[in-house]
Amino acid sequence: MTPLHFADNRGQALDGEKFFFEMGPIRPPSEGNDHSLLIRITRNCSWNRCEFCATYQGEKFVYRQLADIQHDIDVARALHDELNTGSASPGRVISPEAVRALWAGNPRLYGENSGNQSLKWQNLHNVANWLNSGARTVFLQDADALVMRTPDLLAILHYLQGAFPTVERVTAYARSKSCNRKSLEELKELRQAGLVRLHVGLESGCDAVLERMKKGVTAREQVAGGQKVVAAGISLCEYLMPGLGGKDLSARHALDSAGALSAINPDFIRLRTLALRRKSPLLAQAKEGRFAELPEDEVVAEIALLIANLHCRSYLVSDQMSNLLYGVEGQLPRDKAKILQVIDDYRKKPEPERLAFRLRQRWRSYLAVYGSLPDLLEQQVQEAWDSLQREAPEARDRVNAAIAALKEGFV
């Protein structure tokens, strides 16, 4: 592979220190499955006050400059072209060896003194995986793309379209409030420019829960924003957080959320069960006794109540590590009975079987992300397993404590 020479949009050669594109910390699982190209258009979260979230804690929200975003797209384009050329024939699978060869063959860009080596390595793998999946999808990071001015967002979409003609779908996170603030005409214009899907964190349709969690939006605004996105022809994925109401607001959370989602009728409803994560304000509240976390079996019952009261044509998905029952998935209303049966089958299991199932699922989810457990956590999980096998009186408490410790590390 020949050395890679990269110039900016004025034709000036860039040194290695500038040869990277920014990547934010998160993206929806569906975008990972599709190996979307990740382009960061804002940094962090424009709200960043939700009690359950620690993703951007302590980070300042930043509107990135249009020129910097275009530079990032140019870098991704250069990597796209070079990996395609170096793979012997365009469209052929980009192997790990090809990625390593590009890295080793360009010391000016990737040498020890070029800077940002970790990010540059992520860039290479992101583009290679994206090419191998067909280079059809792009995800705009970070937490709220729609907070950006519409003319700038349109310019980004057009620039992407010019750089990557193979792209069929551009998606992004957005807050309900940002969706509601855009006019229907603006949303339609964004759709026409290639913004095909929005991922929105509804979390709850219950005003009491939204206020407690400092979500910064009302249920009415959530519904209005969602309906506007649907009316604009943009595919909408709403995220719902079972367990967010705690013990005292569980039923209201389920019923009000079902009402809001039914009114919006999004293309997708994705469940993201509450996990009290490290550094989140809500974890501290729970440990201080100011938030009563809903036990996992009661969360399952809450999900059943939610689904029974959904009256929409959405596809329900349970595809994130915080969820217990991945089989809770299907097209509504057609598959409602089948989905509820999955929940009923779990609830009918004897308690020892439910405890074992829950511990196994949480342990596997943790390993899928981190590969291994820290020694102390490994010991705690093993002691929980041992107590289950011995049918010890303390088995339930040990399992619940081990699961809570595992879930603190969920992402």
**182-205, pLDDT tens digit by residue?**
999 999 999 999 999 999 999 999
Question: DSSP characters for 289-341?
Answer: TSS-PPPHHHHHHHHHHHHHT--S-PEEE--STT-S-TT--EETTTTHHHHHH
- Residue-range domain boundaries for the chain: 26-73+132-347, 351-408
Instruction: Tokens for 42, please give them.
Output: 């804002």
Burial (Cβ within 10 Å: 0-12, 13-18, ≥19) of residue 364: exposed
Confidence band, pLDDT 50/70/90 cuts, at residue 50: very high
* pLDDT above 70: percentage of residues in the chain: 94
Question: Computed over its alpha carbons, how large is the radius of gyration of the chain?
Answer: 23
What is the spatial distance between Cα 69 and Cα 262, in angstroms, rounded to a whole number? Answer: 37
pLDDT average, residue stretch 206-210? 98
- Closest listed residue to residue 271, CA positions, set 210, 346, 327, 215: 327
What is the spatial distance between Cα 193 and Cα 175, in angstroms, rounded to a whole number? Answer: 20
pLDDT average, residue stretch 79-108? 80
Output the average pLDDT for the chain: 92
Q: Cα dist. 183→177, 188, 189, 283, 377 in Å?
A: 12, 9, 10, 37, 49
Segment holding 173, helix H or strand E: strand 169-174
pLDDT average, residue stretch 233-241? 98
- Please tell me the predicted confidence (pLDDT) of residue 18: 83
What is the spatial distance between Cα 393 and Cα 379, in angstroms, rounded to a whole number? Answer: 19
- Please tell me the predicted confidence (pLDDT) of residue 273: 95
pLDDT at position 2 over 60: no
Spell out where 232-276 has E strands: 235-240, 268-271
- Please tell me the predicted confidence (pLDDT) of residue 106: 87
pLDDT average, residue stretch 233-252? 97
Who wins on pLDDT, 369 or 39?
39
Out of 103-112, 218-227, 233-242, 334-343, least confident range: 103-112
pLDDT in tens, 302-328: 999 999 999 999 999 998 889 999 999
What is the spatial distance between Cα 317 and Cα 261, in angstroms, rounded to a whole number? Answer: 14
pLDDT in tens, 354-395: 999 999 999 999 998 899 999 999 999 999 999 999 999 999
Contacts 24+ apart (CB under 8 A), 98-105: 98/1, 98/128, 99/124, 99/125, 99/128, 101/1, 102/1, 102/4, 105/1, 105/2, 105/3, 105/4
- Its CATH architecture, for the domain 26-73+132-347, is Alpha-Beta Barrel (3.20)
- Please tell me the predicted confidence (pLDDT) of residue 15: 58
What is the spatial distance between Cα 168 and Cα 148, in angstroms, rounded to a whole number? Answer: 22
- Please tell me the predicted confidence (pLDDT) of residue 88: 43
- Please tell me the predicted confidence (pLDDT) of residue 11: 59
pLDDT at position 86 over 60: no
- Please tell me the predicted confidence (pLDDT) of residue 297: 96
pLDDT at position 91 over 60: no
pLDDT at position 245 over 90: yes
Q: Quick one: DSSP state of residue 62?
A: E
Who wins on pLDDT, 196 or 29?
196
Site of tokens 């080793």: 104
- Please tell me the predicted confidence (pLDDT) of residue 6: 63
Q: Cα dist. 166→8, 73, 91, 128 in Å?
A: 22, 14, 12, 15
pLDDT in tens, 101-139: 889 988 888 888 888 899 999 999 999 999 999 999 999
Spell out where 36-105 has E strands: 37-40, 42-43, 62-63
pLDDT average, residue stretch 143-154? 96
- Please tell me the predicted confidence (pLDDT) of residue 372: 93
